[in-house]
């Protein structure tokens, strides 16, 4: 049976997000609001 994997790891262990990425996600989550009306829900981004 053939080996379908390599001995070297392709991903680095020290993968950290940039400060800009963290700031973008935090600002997006602050601007996002979900409103429910009856059986429907609306996602509103207030930017």
> Does the residue 3 lie in any domain?
no
> Does the residue 5 lie in any domain?
no
> Does the residue 4 lie in any domain?
no
pLDDT digits (tens, 9 = 90+) for 10-22: 666 788 999 999 9
User: What is the pLDDT, as a whole number, of residue 20?
Assistant: 97
Rounded Cα–Cα distance for residues 30 and 33 (Å)? 8
Which residues does residue 35 pair with via DSSP β-bridges, in sequence order? 42
Domain containing residue 24:
17-47
pTM for the structure as a whole: 0.54
Q: How many helices (H) and strands (E) does the chain have?
A: 1, 2
Distances (CA, A) of 18 to 4, 13, 25: 33, 15, 11
pLDDT digits (tens, 9 = 90+) for 1-47: 667 766 666 666 788 999 999 999 999 999 999 999 999 999 999 86
Q: What is the DSSP letter of 10?
A: S
> Would you give the end-to-end CA distance of the chain in angstroms?
55
Domain count within the chain: 1
> Does the residue 23 lie in any domain?
yes
> Does the residue 6 lie in any domain?
no
């Amino acid at each position: 049976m053939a080996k379908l994997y390599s001995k070297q790891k392709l991903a680095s262990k020290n993968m950290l997000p940039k400060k800009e990425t963290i700031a973008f996600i935090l600002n997006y989550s602050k601007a996002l609001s979900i409103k429910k009306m009856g059986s429907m829900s609306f996602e509103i981004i207030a930017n």
